[in-house]
Amino acid sequence: MSANLTEIGEKLLAWYDIHARQLPWRVGPDALRAGFQPDAYEVWLAEIMLQQTTVATVKDYYTRFTQKWPTVQALAAASEDDILKQWAGLGYYSRARNLKKCADTIVSEHGGQFPADLFKLRALPGIGDYTAAAIASIAFGIPAPVVDGNVERVFSRLFTIDTPLPKAKAEIRERVNDVLTKERPGDFAQACMDLGATICTPKKPACMHCPVRLDCTVLGVQDPERFPVKPPKKEKPNRVGAAYVIVNEKGQILLAKRTSTGLLANMTQVPTTDWNSRKDGMTDIGGAPIKNARWMRSGQIEHVFTHFSLTLTVWKTEVAKSQFTPADGQWWAPIATLQGEALPTVMKKVIAHALPDAKLRG
Positions marked catalytic: 47
Q: Are 278 and 314 in contact (CB under 8 A)?
A: no
For 199, phi and psi rounded to 5 degrees?
-115, -55
Separation CA 157–CA 277 (nearest Å)? 35
**CA angle at residue 179 from 178 to 183, to 5 degrees?**
110
Whether the bond between 326 and the residue before it is cis, its omega within 30 degrees of 0, is: no
Q: Which residues contact 186 (CB under 8 A, 6 or more apart)?
A: 38, 137, 138, 139, 141
Q: Which residues contact 200 (CB under 8 A, 6 or more apart)?
A: 150, 153, 154, 157, 207, 210, 224
Burial of 291 (0-12, 13-18, 19+ CB in 10 A): exposed
Indicate the DSSP class of residue 214.
G
Pairing of strands 309-319, 296-304: antiparallel
**Closest by CA position to 119, among listed 105, 135, 107:** 135
**Cα 78 to chain center, whole Å?**
20
**CA angle at residue 349 from 346 to 354, to 5 degrees?**
135
Q: Tell me the CA distances in angstroms from 64 to 30, 85, 91, 127, one per residue in order.
A: 26, 11, 16, 22
Q: Are 14 and 184 in contact (CB under 8 A)?
A: no
Please report the sign of the dihedral spanned by the C-alpha atoms of residue 95, residue 96, residue 100, residue 106. Answer: positive
User: Strand runs (DSSP E) across 83-188, as ranges?
Assistant: none
